[in-house]
Chains A and B, each alone.
Chain A
């Protein structure tokens, strides 16, 4: 690959996927700094491997790499405590505009999403926030499309029940 082409392709793909990859890891880890580090490391690895990755497989390469990096880290430390610390910090850091705007419904919804089972939350947010289709989510998470759809429907029903029960 010509050097300039490689750089251009890298930059284009970075701009297309970095933010989504960040959220993907954030949804799993709830740790902003960790998610950012993992995104950076994943793209560095991607740069090194670019020549050997098949056209069209780049996105799943990035997601798989990021996921593996996260699992390695989780395996090496007890992240539970860190989560709790981060959760506290998170509520303190909310933009004041949002604080004012946040209606009761939004607060309810936010906590209902937080309380979804991990697998449902991941699918729900990838679909609603990152705009992935069921098919793409299935590919990225190495699941069947049916399974993704099922998690999605369960998530919506769960959210509805939780919110109306509060």
Chain B
């Protein structure tokens, strides 16, 4: 039996996502664990007040330009937007330049497409809409690639196979798993075998049916779901098990050419269910109606919330 002090230490490090696999299993077997897990996961979904950062920023600019005009330079913030746009434009040029002239094979999909691709080692990757992978010509020597968006992998056994995303990396030997990496959200779900996920300084090993969500490099609790449900989007049906609505909407905009500006208060609500990929109206109805969220289409490509 662990002493109180040792338990405290485990608790403290568990909260920071710092336990080794062995320590995790010790900690997960303490009688307190389930309570702590529930407290932590529910805490994140309490309705804390938010500041409207846009309005606050406008107020700040007003105050700043007042004090600055007293000093000397009058038009300060007006140019801000233009500067950012210029920088963004240069960034886009640079990225597309790198894209066009590097010799890495790049596979990508447009919104609403899927592409199935066999990698040089025989592993299979299926890309969901608006996603891309690229890997080096020497892939068979070192199995690694970069992913943006969402993809399902079925990996041939062999040397280490690594998928990097902007938010973390996933390492496996031979297994199948799904990676969703859009905006600040990374979700990795393991369908068979074992998968190692790393983000920032943390690392976690997932077994069959387990998935982990990483939000801004912060590990959320491990979730178990039916492995048969993992990667179902390949057959035209995206399935979710108490996923944050934010994630569902991001996923939806990978399958449809649509802009959905989800109000911040709705982002953390939970959705369990699925949506189809071949009918936008139906898909929206499948997600939003059961949650009692009222919305309407503005033109063909925009959803607005009417509450």
Contacts and interface: CB of A to CB of B under 8 A. Distances in A.
Interface of A: 3-4, 7-8, 11, 14-15, 18-19, 22-23, 26, 32, 35-36, 39-40, 43-44, 47-48, 90, 94-95, 97-98, 100-101, 105-106, 109-110, 113, 124-125, 127-129, 131, 133-134, 149, 152-153, 156, 159-160, 163-164
Interface centre among A105, A110, A125, A128 (most CB of B within 10 A): A128
Q: Which one of B11, B46, B77 has the highest number of Cβ atoms from chain A below 10 Å of its Cβ?
A: B46
Interface stretch (B36-44, B157-165, B233-241, B296-304): B36-44
Contacts of A109: 39, 42-43, 46
Nearest to A105: B42
B83 A8 contact: yes
Nearest to A90: B49
Nearest to A11: B80
A110 B46 contact: yes
Contacts of B242: none
Nearest to B55: A36
B262 to A, nearest CB: 13
Interface range on chain B (Cβ under 8 Å from partner): 35 or more
Interface stretch (B56-64, B90-98, B187-195, B274-282): B56-64
Given A19-B53, A23-B48, A101-B269, A152 B12 contact: yes
Given A3-B73, A128-B40, A131-B218, A40 B59 contact: yes
A39 B52 CA distance: 11
Interface in B213-238: 215-218
A133 to B, nearest CB: 6
Interface string B79-93: 110011001000000
Interface of B: 8, 11-12, 15-16, 32, 35-36, 38-40, 42-51, 53, 56-57, 59-60, 63-64, 67, 73, 76-77, 79-80, 83-84, 87, 215-218, 265-266, 269, 292-293
B87 A8 contact: yes
B49 A3 contact: no
Contact of B46 (A39, A40, A106, A149): A106
Q: Nearest 10 CB-CB pairs, A to B?
A: A22-B51, A98-B47, A131-B218, A7-B80, A4-B83, A153-B8, A44-B63, A149-B12, A160-B35, A128-B43
Nearest to B59: A40
Contact of B266 (A97, A124, A153, A159): A97
16 contacts: A7-B80, A8-B83, A11-B84, A14-B53, A18-B51, A19-B53, A26-B49, A32-B49, A39-B56, A101-B269, A106-B45, A129-B44, A159-B39, A160-B32, A160-B36, A160-B39
Contact of A14 (B12, B32, B57, B218): B57
Contact of B77 (A7, A19, A129): A7
Most buried by B among A90, A131, A156, A159: A156
Contacts of B51: 18-19, 22, 32, 35-36, 39
A159 B80 CA distance: 45
Nearest to A102: B47
A40 B53 CA distance: 10
Nearest to B293: A97
Contact of A3 (B53, B60, B76): B76
